Amino acid sequence: MAVYVSDLLKLKNFSGTKLIAGKQGMKNQISWPYVCVAFPISPWIKGGELLFVAASDIETTVLKNEDFWQECQDMRIAAVVALSGRREAEILASAVSFKANSAGIPLFVMPWEINLVAVIQEITYLIIDRNTADEKSRHFLENLLFSPAGQSGSVEELAQFYDITVFPVHFICIFGFHSQSASAELDRVMMQVLRHSIDELNPSCWGSFLAMEYANHLLVLVFNRSCQEAQEAMESIAEVFRSISGRYLDTELYLGFSRIHESHDEIKMSYDEAMKTTVMLKSSQYPSNILHYGDLGIIKLLFELNNTKELRTYCQETIGCIIEYDQKYTTELLMTLKSYLLNGQNLVKTSSALYIHRNTLVYRLSIIKRLLGHSLDDAVKMLELFNCILIYEFLQSMDKNDESGRKLQ
């Protein structure tokens, strides 16, 4: 669990400190405290620092310098703490607030006479404690999920070794995202938003959780006291995720859940289930960006097949003519057929779902019938077509996932 700017307000030595600007940056993550003694600051910092700046002389303080705030923004400074007297603090608020708000960097005012060593020591200890806890969580998860069978030890033994609190019931969820701009900086911000949102949840009412980042994914293992608590935890996480999705519309976000399990021996199974949901979500074939393993239906069986050659042949024999027609004429017949079947073969509901005129739908269906060589009235044939479409989408998802894996390598 990281240390955020909002955590500063809970510290004993920060009780006399006042936030005067940059409230929107309270979720910024703090990497380390740093006392600014020279400007520019970039040669001395790495990013994410909590910056302490002398502001006893309003006329000469670096806080009034536009270049200082631009550099803070460029170097991703978490927050700035101005050390000043009471009179200077009032002047500072009117002179610098606009700059801090524009940069999105919280600006605090701290009494000049405070014991700065004690302040920095308290923050440093908190960062070290949180980083140590994160390291323990990561090693626990890596040993638990990725060690060869029989070599990781029991969950209870690992939990005791790494000082992790576990409960009888568990599930795993995996957050994934893909920024349309393909920017490393935006990816970093997105991961920070996800981590902060999860860290803000209060697990004490329904158990405990461990989080681990990898690539553009955040894996969360949640322990609960009961299945009811696990269900409530799932709902809380999904609610937080929906809130994030609503704020970041330019980022493709998805969230996959495993089933709820009542045995620690099934944690690897939970991970496998959550991973399978993310594979399907990446293909963008689902109307929602949240998927539970239990809702995969027939797809769960397909994942167990090692050889997909027969499945590909089956798809080619059953709906290959439609796929080829779509590719040749840039049409959407396969999507139309799926929607038609999902909507109970109701013309009104299907045309509404596809945002097309009823006559357009009828025309598309006539082409589909001609390509298939049979009507769309036979219930058995319709079931076969629907299952075949699901299999085809599954194969597309697997191909896409393999391609993403090769790019990562």
Encoded tokens for 206:
């329904």
Task: Judge whether 17 and 115 are in contact, CB under 8 Å.
Answer: no
CATH code of the region 165-296: 3.30.70.270
- Residue whose structure tokens are 């319709």: 382
Model confidence at 263, in pLDDT bands (50, 70, 90)?
A: very high
Task: In whole angstroms, give the CA distance from residue 150 to residue 308.
Answer: 30
pLDDT > 70 in the chain, percent: 94
Task: In whole angstroms, give the CA distance from residue 261 to residue 267.
Answer: 8
**pLDDT of 106:** 95
Where are the chain's structural domains? 5-123, 165-296, 309-408
In the chain, what are the helix, strand and coil shares in percent, each to the nearest 5? 55, 15, 25
Model confidence at 153, in pLDDT bands (50, 70, 90)?
A: low
- Report DSSP letters for 322-381, one per residue: HHHHHHHHT--HHHHHHHHHHTTT-HHHHHHHHT--HHHHHHHHHHHHHHHTS-S--HHH
Does 409 have pLDDT greater than 50? Answer: no
Does 95 have pLDDT greater than 80? Answer: yes
Phi/psi for 353 (5° steps) reads -65, -35
> In one letter, which amino acid is 378?
D
Task: In whole angstroms, give the CA distance from residue 337 to residue 322.
Answer: 9
- Of the CATH numbers 1.20.1630.10, 3.60.40.10, 3.40.640.10, 3.40.1390.10, which one belongs to the domain with range 5-123? 3.40.1390.10
